[in-house]
Every structure is written in structure tokens, then in C-alpha cells.
Amino acid sequence: MDKNYKMTVAYDGSRYRGWQSQKSTDVTIQGKLNQVFSELEGRKVEVQGSGRTDAGVHALGQVASVRLTVEKSIPEIMEYVNHYLPDDIGITEMEEAPERFHARLSAQRKTYCYRIFNSVAPNVFERKWMCRIPEPLDLEKMRQGAGYLEGTHDFAAFCTRHQKKKSSVRTIYRLEILSEGAEVDIRITGNGFLHNMVRIIAGTLVEIGQGRREPMEIKQLLEEGIREQAGVTMPARGLILQSVEYE
């Protein structure tokens, strides 16, 4: 009889083509996990993630679920899987989950963080995990803009490849602009995110911080829903999936 497991997955997405397994390549996070868990199980198994992260995006707290029949303890499973996974992917936590638990369908909230290195100096050691912006940013104006994005809105202007048949309404519970030294973090918690939504929100807030647009423009973007009028899509390397919350 199989058991259902919930696990937290951390990965450096720099060299991967995103979370979702693809027929054209084996260089995906899900593909690597499927391969190792299938070898452990002795049959084909599929790991389910809480959501798809794009090529180059990282995760500290991605959550995944998998069903296994292998008679090993959780520490033994983790030891095996982490031994055979690449060094840039790791299972950091694992537990047995209720029968009906599904990493994606059961998820309630997700928190992403977009990390910016706001300095004219080169960012030698963290260049793969932060986006460098040399111009000073007006953080107070960025916070004003962020305030308009909190709540339930139609975020059509803040996504790419949106399918018109599907709703683009989402709820943002919290959007913070945090800073320490040269690092500026855009941290966002919501009930779900559209394709590239966090990176476009980050790009729009950065343009406010650079004085290229006013905070009030956010209201117009939400009302009109035109992608071309919102900010740039920030590079993937600055984005980290921090955590996924469940009931």
C-alpha cells in the first residue's frame, strides 16, 4: 500500500529550464526529482509541485508531494534522494501527509521574494541570485505603489500568456518593500500568481522607485488590464519562491 508524502524542496534554478518536466529536455527540477524517486521506488512515479517556477527561478520553500510504496523510513528516503539529486536541488523537510493532500491543489498561500542589489558596485558572490540595479531607488514611493496592489484585483496587466477563458483575479495579502544595506527585497504573499506576475509587479515597482512612473499609476493599470502599459518583466535570477502555506 502506498503512502502520501509532503516535502519541502530547495533549488538553485540557474541552470534549469523551470520546474515542470519536459519531453524535450531532462534539465528541469521536476524531471530530476521524478528520476531519483522512480529509481528509489523501482517504478515510474511523478512528483507534484505546488506550482511551476520558470526557467532560472529559485526556491527556498517549494512544496511537493509524492506517493511511495517503498518500505523505508523518512530519514532513509531523504538520505537516498539527496545523495542522488544534483547538488543544486535538495529535500530539506519531509513528512507523511493525509491521503487527500496534493501539493498544488491543497495550497492556500504562496510567498515570493524578488531580491535586488541596489548598488553601483559589482555583486560578485550573489550575482546568480539577485538582480543588480545601480540607480538609487525611492523606497517610499515603491511602498506607496505596493499599497495599491494589496487586496483582490484583476491582475491582467501583470501577466504574460494569459488565457482569456481563465480568471486573472488574484488576492495579494501582503506586499512589502524591505531593505538592508544594499539589498532591497520585494516580498509578496498571495493566494496564487499568474505567469510572470511577480516579476512584472517587481518591474513596475522598480520603475516607480526610479522615478519613471508615479505610484498612482498602479490603480490605472489594474483598471485597464493592459500588459503593455505595466513595467518590464524583471530577470528570473532575482526571484525566489520562499514558502507555501496550507490549512
| Residues with catalytic roles | 54
Q: Is 209 helix (H, G, I), strand (E, B) or coil?
A: helix
State the pairing for strand pair 131-132/239-246: unpaired
For residues 114 and 177, give the distance between their C-alpha atoms in angstroms, rounded to a whole number. 10
5 in Cβ contact with 97 (< 8 Å): yes
Task: Give the CA angle between residues 20, 90, 107 to the nearest 5°.
Answer: 55
For residues 171 and 192, give the distance between their C-alpha atoms in angstroms, rounded to a whole number. 7
Pick from 123, 138, 228, 124: which is nearest to 182 by CA?
123
CA-based end-to-end distance of the chain: 26
